Amino acid sequence: MPCTTLLVGRHASADGSPLVARTEDSSNGTFDPKRVVVVRPEDQPRTYTSVIGRRRIELPQEPLRYTSIPNVLPDEGIWGCAGINAANVAMSATETITSNPRVLGADPLVEHVPAVGEPGTPGYRPEQPGGFGEEDFVTLVLPYIRTAREGVERLGALLTEHGTYEMNGIAFSDETDIWWLETVGGHHWIARRVPEDHYVTMPNQLGIDSFDLDDAEGPGRDHLASRDLRAFLRDHHLDLTVRDSADESASVFNPREAFGSHSEHDHVYNTPRAWYMQRTLNPTSEDWDSGLPGASPHSDTLPWSRRPERLLTLEDVKDVLSSHYQGTVFDPYSPRGTEAERRAFRPIGINRHNALAILQIRPGLPESFRALQWVCFASNPFNTLIPMFTNVEETPAYLATTGEAVSTDSFYWTSRLIAALADAHHAETLPDIERYQLRTLALGHAAVRAADEAAAGTGSAEEVPALLAAANTAIAEQIREATDALLGSVLFTASNRMRNRFSRSDE
């Protein structure tokens, strides 16, 4: 998936919550309708077969309830996207990342190979299952973990045993920690704990830029990896660190150099997104427009994590993941710059967003209402977030109703309609969209605060899920009303600016 991820450690966020956020973007020319669901333990499969990889696996017998944002169309599998389970552990999967020929030659991806011929006939070759991938990870991991670290360990074990057919990055969070895992070839993986006072920017490129093998092989405080990673690096000459010959056993290396890429594709598709996110969140830390190494859209050395200049809010996360290089010549909606400059880089806020999930585990609150999943659909510059408490048995109809047919009963389709209409009239519709976003985000925060107070006043934790479900539905309906009103306003503007308009009319 051509996605963008932003991770915010708990000491870098305004309210002390670790924040895991990722846009799920479809490939060019395709759009995948999404919906939000709650998967109850009785609905979780006990035997799972992936659609793309055709690999079959037996699953543990006691899954936790969890939320998920699956594809509406099941032709390529579930694609659970992101969710939070009953133990208040969050998972976002996955961010497609890059690799290089040395890695893929040393540990090839595990791709599905269809059977050839019929059994018993000459030349028959049986089917070879592929590994697991983006369609599978949430379903295979999230129902079975109780900490972020356990998520890394379970997914790492699955990758080691079964392999994967693609390179991906996956985030796990609980109330204190965020862990980021990156696949390395078909079976290998590395993971780092996000520094608590840092944020991480991930734009479809292998990102971790420093890794300590001694920690991964020992206490694993901040690093975890495949057990044979040191030998894998050595045997295939993957570590490109220049070292003193007397210090050949040094344990710290740069995975981005060993396992990643620095292609021209990266410089127009990936690195500009990291540059703009860091430019926005650390505006005075670098001379971002100088073109200097380490601070340019083409830089291969932008840090994986950085301490922000101030504490970050939910709105900061949403704004960054909606951005299209505002304030620069690369903004496709700006009159500044040339047409070539305005189309030079892939925007973060792109037309083919399927969904954005911001996963928030709020420490210090009771477990029964600690977790929130903020969700929006379609192109982020034009949409808004709906907050959803995850300790519930069902989701609001406005988030769950997404058929193949376009319908304003669906938050997904209404958001996509607004974006498609507003894009061609960006300047004219922007004031209405900004007012809508301000109003709906304020409504969301007020609804969360009111639900927190109501849940805190209940007599027992057993009463909380029904209260939260009612709160979810109420705020979804409020935002539905505002979204319908925005659709009407944008439609009116777009209709008045049709190319077949004429200024004279009958009186």
Rounded CA-CA distance 140/457 in Å is 36
Q: What is the pTM of this model?
A: 0.96
In a domain, 284, yes or no: yes
Residue 113: beta bridge partners? 128
In a domain, 373, yes or no: no
Find the catalytic residue in 1, 3, 385, 417: 3
In a domain, 383, yes or no: no
Residue 341 sits in the same domain as residue 411: no
Residue 71 sits in the same domain as residue 170: yes
Last residue of a domain, which of 314, 345, 364? 364
In a domain, 13, yes or no: yes
Mean pLDDT of 222-248: 90
Q: Which residue has the higher pLDDT, 63 or 75?
A: 63
In a domain, 387, yes or no: no
Residue 190 sits in the same domain as residue 135: yes
Instruction: Kindly indicate the confidence band of residue 125, based on its pLDDT and cuts at 50, 70 and 90.
Output: very high
Residue 47 sits in the same domain as residue 177: yes
In a domain, 264, yes or no: yes
Dmax over CA atoms of the chain, in Å, equals: 91
- 296: containing domain: 4-364
Work out the mean pLDDT of the chain and round it to a whole number.
95
Residue 79 sits in the same domain as residue 210: yes
Active site residue 3: yes
Residue 130 sits in the same domain as residue 34: yes
Q: What is each CA distance from 135 to 67, 99, 113, 178, 453, in whole angstroms?
A: 15, 20, 18, 22, 37
Amino acid 30: pLDDT: 84
In a domain, 152, yes or no: yes
Residue 348 sits in the same domain as residue 425: no
**pLDDT tens readout for residues 154-199:** 999 999 999 999 999 999 999 999 999 999 999 999 999 999 999 9
**Is residue 36 within 8 Å of 44, Cβ to Cβ?**
no
Residue 104 sits in the same domain as residue 228: yes
| Counted domains in the chain | 2
Mean pLDDT of 389-400: 97
Amino acid 447: pLDDT: 98
**pLDDT tens readout for residues 298-347:** 999 999 999 999 999 999 999 999 999 999 999 999 998 899 999 999 99
Residue 409 sits in the same domain as residue 350: no
Amino acid 325: pLDDT: 97
Mean pLDDT of 41-66: 97
Amino acid 405: pLDDT: 86
**Is residue 209 within 8 Å of 254, Cβ to Cβ?**
yes
Mean pLDDT of 437-441: 98
Q: Which residue has the higher pLDDT, 465 or 294?
A: 465
Residue 347 sits in the same domain as residue 471: no
Instruction: Kindly indicate the confidence band of residue 245, based on its pLDDT and cuts at 50, 70 and 90.
Output: low
Q: Considering only 1-5, 313-317, 382-386, 502-506, which range has the smallest mean pLDDT?
A: 502-506
Amino acid 1: pLDDT: 60
Residue 348 has pLDDT above 60, yes or no: yes
Residue 289 has pLDDT above 60, yes or no: yes
Amino acid 239: pLDDT: 95
Residue 333 sits in the same domain as residue 437: no
Residue 38 has pLDDT above 80, yes or no: yes
Give the neighbor-by-neighbor strand order of the sheet with 168-173.
82-84, 90-96, 168-173, 178-184, 188-193, 223-225
Rounded CA-CA distance 132/51 in Å is 9
Residue 147 sits in the same domain as residue 34: yes
In a domain, 394, yes or no: no
- Which residues, 6+ apart, have CB-to-CB distance to 328 below 8 Å? 276, 289, 334, 336, 337
Instruction: Kindly indicate the confidence band of residue 247, based on its pLDDT and cuts at 50, 70 and 90.
Output: low
**pLDDT > 90 fraction of the chain, expressed in percent and rounded:** 91
